A and B are shown apart, each in its own frame.
Chain A
Amino acid sequence: MSGYDVVFDDLLKASAEFSRQGEAYANLMPHKPACPAGGDDTIDKMLNVTLQALYEMHTVLAQAVSAHAEKLDYTHRNYRKTEGNLFDYLTKVPPPTY
Chain B
Amino acid sequence: MAKAPSSLAPFSYNWVGGDIRGLSRLAGTLYGFADQAAEPANTLQGTVDRLVSESGDNAWKGSAADNFKMDFGQDIVDVRWMNGRTVAVGDAVDGLAVTLAKIESWLESQAEQGVRAGYVTLDGAGKMTLPKGTSDPRVQRFLQQFNQSREQALIAAKAARKVAAKKLAAEYSTLSNGLMNYKTNHRNLLSKNELAALDSNLRQLRQGFQDANHLLDSTSRPGAHEKALLKDAVMTATTIIGGTAGAVVGTFVEPGGGTIAGAGIGGLIGQGAGSMLGSIFD
A34 at the interface (CB under 8 A from B): yes
B residues contacting the other copy or chain, number (CB 8 A) = 73
* CB contact under 8 A between A33 and B22, given known A10-B58, A46-B216: no
Contact in complex: A63, B190 (CB < 8 Å): yes
Pick the most buried of A7, A51, A60: most chain B CB atoms within 10 A of its CB: A60
Contact in complex: B58, A57 (CB < 8 Å): no
A residues contacting the other copy or chain, number (CB 8 A) = 49
B12 at the interface (CB under 8 A from A): no
Contact in complex: B215, A57 (CB < 8 Å): no
Contact in complex: A47, B219 (CB < 8 Å): no
CB distance from B82 to the nearest CB of A (A): 6
Contact in complex: A14, B51 (CB < 8 Å): yes
Query: Which residue on chain B has the smallest CB distance to residue A2?
Result: B58
B201 at the interface (CB under 8 A from A): yes
The A-contacting residues of B in range 34-88, CB under 8 angstroms, are 36-37, 39-40, 43-44, 47-48, 50-51, 57-60, 64, 68, 71-72, 75, 78-79, 82, 85-86
Contact in complex: A57, B85 (CB < 8 Å): yes
Query: Which residue on chain A has the smallest CB distance to residue B100?
Result: A39
A94 at the interface (CB under 8 A from B): no
* CB contact under 8 A between A61 and B208, given known A7-B60, A21-B43, A53-B172: no
Consensus secondary structure, chain A interface: helix
B165 at the interface (CB under 8 A from A): yes
A86 at the interface (CB under 8 A from B): no
Contact in complex: A36, B23 (CB < 8 Å): yes
Contact in complex: B25, A36 (CB < 8 Å): yes
* CB contact under 8 A between A58 and B176, given known A18-B44, A64-B182: no
* CB contact under 8 A between A43 and B44, given known A37-B18, A49-B205: no
Chain B residues, CB < 8 A from A18: 44, 47
The B-contacting residues of A in range 28-51, CB under 8 angstroms, are 28-29, 33-43, 45-51
A83 to B147, CA, bound (A): 83
CB distance from B173 to the nearest CB of A (A): 9
Binds A, one of B119-127, B128-136, B154-162, B271-279: B154-162
Chain B residues, CB < 8 A from A34: 26
A68 to B72, CA, bound (A): 8
Contact in complex: B209, A49 (CB < 8 Å): yes
B226 at the interface (CB under 8 A from A): no
- A21-B43, A50-B168 given. 16 additional CB < 8 A pairs? A10-B50, A14-B50, A24-B40, A33-B26, A36-B19, A38-B23, A40-B17, A42-B216, A45-B212, A52-B208, A54-B89, A56-B198, A60-B179, A61-B79, A64-B182, A68-B75
A-B contact pairs, 6 of them (CB 8 A): A10-B58, A17-B47, A21-B40, A24-B39, A42-B216, A46-B216
Q: Which residues of A contact B (CB under 8 A)?
A: 3, 6-7, 10-11, 13-14, 17-18, 21-22, 24-25, 28-29, 33-43, 45-54, 56-58, 60-61, 63-65, 67-68, 71-72, 75
